[in-house]
Structure 1
Amino acid sequence: MPFEERKKPRITLIDVAQHANVSRATASLVIRKSPLVGAETRMRVEKAMRDLGYVYNMGAARLRAERSYTAGVIVPNLTNPFFAELLSGIEAVIDAAGMVVILGNSGDSAERQDMMMRRMREHSVDGVIICPAADTGPEFMRQFAQSGLPLVQALRHVSDEFDYAGADYAGGIAQAVDHLAALGHRRIAFAVHGPVHSAYNERVDGFRDAMLSRGLDPLRIIRVPNPVGEIAGAASLLFDGHQHPTAVICFNDVVALGLSAGLHDRGLRIGEDISLIGFDDVSDAETMRPRLTSVSTAPVTIGQTAAQLLLDRLSDPRREARRLVTRSVLHIRQTCGLIAVSALQ
């Protein structure tokens, strides 16, 4: 028998609809994950698809809809667990919308970011969620938006012209300062690292404002090296001055984990001899001993918010740009304690 005669006829959406005893339009809504279809009907159509072996022709659907059902996501650093949590939030919402994510890593390089954005355009993504590389200006965003590519800023803010999903960095830093001050700490340092961008500035400005509001020295800001492996060795920077800090707030949990190792190597007990607070509260905070007190910026929630902003933008390209900021919350664990009497002298 010739191969053509042995081929099974292709199952169509009409076949699925007839098998499930629904209209073709209803079957189409199920495939597109529309909320307009009831749960029982959805289950019946999905069972019919499985029974018949129906395979949705995404390529044809893209041609009909002039959409790729893909969302680009560009982040600056895939080694930081914070971005893994952000991505999980994005994917949950994008997947529920029947779309898939194309991920790019800019390495916080403006040149590589430009290349990644152009690759996204070549793959005809419907829109891009971007955590802009340092030194990204509004013009960079505009050139792609003007070509019809919807953009959402995540974590770092470049321009009010575009949707933004981020965290209340200054509010989180203020909570950390207030907690340490309540424990009696007056000499509080802020350990920063990485390139300067909006999230960096909001943290630093938040630290200075919170310290000044309590009459404390806002200038105890040290900069540790960017390579993670060198942060522990930078703990010595905390003790270069005449009066050593009794507590340290860290730019993120990566810095906190590195400094905790360096302080331990100096024979200091975290939470007793010196207090330590991280920022972002990623899952690694629970694995450190003593457990790390950290400001949660809810990266999963921010990811979900950014994805929803993109979906809303796709459904209504003319809507006004929105700025949605997630509240930061200090999670108190074991790395902060009452100031030692000796430290007051």
Structure 2
Amino acid sequence: MREHRQEPAEDAAISIRMLDIPASRAQDPRAQVYIVDHLKPGTTINRRVEVLNSSGESQEIDFYSGAASVENNAFTVPEGRTGNELSGWIRLKTATMVLDPGERRPVEVEIAVPKKASKGERYAAIWAQVTSAKERTGNVTQIHRVGIRVYLDIGPGGEPPTDFRIDGLAAEPGIGEFPVVTAQVTNTGQRALDMTGTLSLSKAAVRAGPFKVTNGVTILPGQSGQVRIEVNQALPAGTWDVQAKLASGIVERTATGRISLPVAAPMTVATSAGPSWLVYAVGGIALLVLVTLGGWYLVRRQRLA
């Protein structure tokens, strides 16, 4: 019996990215790296992803779709090729290909929603996988895979709103020498959130940051999650004004407050919510005009983040 091991995705030296997004989502950062859409029952859409072999050897790559879910504020995928309802709607028009070193090639993806599909958001992943045996240990098989998340909402009419609020900021000592600022976020919309953002600090004429969100959390509608931002820079002691700008896709919110450095113990930050706005309004029905995107995006197996 052969032993199978999931190895880190970067060891496979393959990467995958989106080639096409709807023109109506061209300003949405999430749609540039994931398949994010709202469809009516009975709708079929087509997208393209592109795979690159950046290794020095030819790679035989398998393509398939698999299940995903959001658990404990994390986009979660099972081991192996476990499927779910949404993955069953996805058809990859290429099952296997061989790429030479440095070669890249598109793969067509079709998502066909049944006419009787129920309302609600579903999650899946599209995988590119390389399987190889270690030369010195012939009884061990290495499995490397990189993937793209799929967020698909089904229902009549326009797309449900995406929205959230920042309930408060706090500060705590970090694992190392630098403190961590946390933001409690509640999903007040009807689509899952993927939180990104930055934190900036100021004290008189001194500025620090912006520091990026260090944990990518996914928050379901009606639920809350904690966003963490490490202040990975040595700063003078004293009281600092902080501003957290958080976003999920095109929706952005701001909160401000003050913290005292150094942080010796967890502390609550008195905050005020900044202006709330939609950076860009997405149309109700996704246009089928596609936009070609540049840049590579590598998604690790463990998190697809």
Q: What TM-score do the two structures reach when normalised by structure 1?
A: 0.24
Structure of higher CA gyration radius: 1
Judging by fraction of residues, say which structure has more helix. Answer: 1
Larger strand proportion, structure 1 or 2? 2
